[in-house]
Amino acid sequence: MLKCEHLVKKYLTTTAVADLSIELESGKIYALLGPNGSGKSTLMKMISGLSKPSSGTITLNGQKLNYKSKAQIAYMPTEAYFFSYMTCMDIGDYYKDFFADFDYDKYMALLSEMDLEPKQKAREMSSGMMAKLKIAVTLSRNAKIIMLDEPLNGIDIIARDKIINTIISNINDDMAVVISSHLVDELEKIVDYAIFIKKGKCILSGEAEELRESQGKSIVNMYKEIYA
Partner 1 sequence: MLKMLKYEWRKNILSLLIVLGVYAALQIYFLIATYGTKSYGNTAIAGTLLMLVAMFSYVFVLLYGIISYNADLKNKSGYLVFMAPVSSFKILGAKLLSTLITGIAIVAVIVGLAFWDFSIVRDVFNVDAYISFGNELLGALGSSLSIWDITIRIIFIIFSSLISFYMTVTVGYLSVSISATLLQNKKGKGFLSVLLFIIILAVVLVIEYFMPDTKITAGMSFAELCLNDLPSLLLELFVTIAAFIGSGIMLDKKISL
Give the contact letters, 7-26, x = binds to partner 1 (CB under 8 A), - = no. --x-xx--------------
Residues 146 and 44: their CA atoms lie apart, in Å, by 10
Q: How many residues does the chain have?
A: 228
- Least spacing, CB of residue 221 vs partner 1, in Å: 34
Dihedral sign, CA of 127, 132, 136, 138? positive
Task: Kindly tell me which residue out of 5, 23, 57, 98 binds partner 1, with binding defined by CB under 8 A.
Answer: 98
User: How many helices (H) does the chain have, and how many strands (E)?
Assistant: 8, 10
Binding partner 1 (rule: CB under 8 A), the pick from 8, 50, 89, 204 is: 50
Helix, coil or strand: residue 197: strand
- Candidate residues 8, 71, 204, 220; the one interacting with partner 1 per rule CB under 8 A: 71
Verify binding: residue 223, partner 1, rule CB under 8 A: no
Q: Which of 143, 137, 97 is nearest to 118 (CA)?
A: 137
Quote helix, strand, coil % in the chain, to nearest 5: 40, 30, 35
Among 5, 23, 79, 174, binds partner 1 (CB under 8 A): 79
CA separation for the pair 44, 9 (Å, rounded):
12
Residue 119 makes contact with partner 1 by CB under 8 A? no
Is position 41 an interface residue for partner 1 (rule: CB under 8 A)? no
Binding flag, residue 52, partner 1 (CB under 8 A):
yes
Under the binding rule (CB under 8 A), the answer on residue 68 touching partner 1 is yes
Q: Given the rule CB under 8 A, which residues bind partner 1?
A: 9, 11-12, 45, 48-52, 67-71, 75, 77, 79-85, 94, 97-99
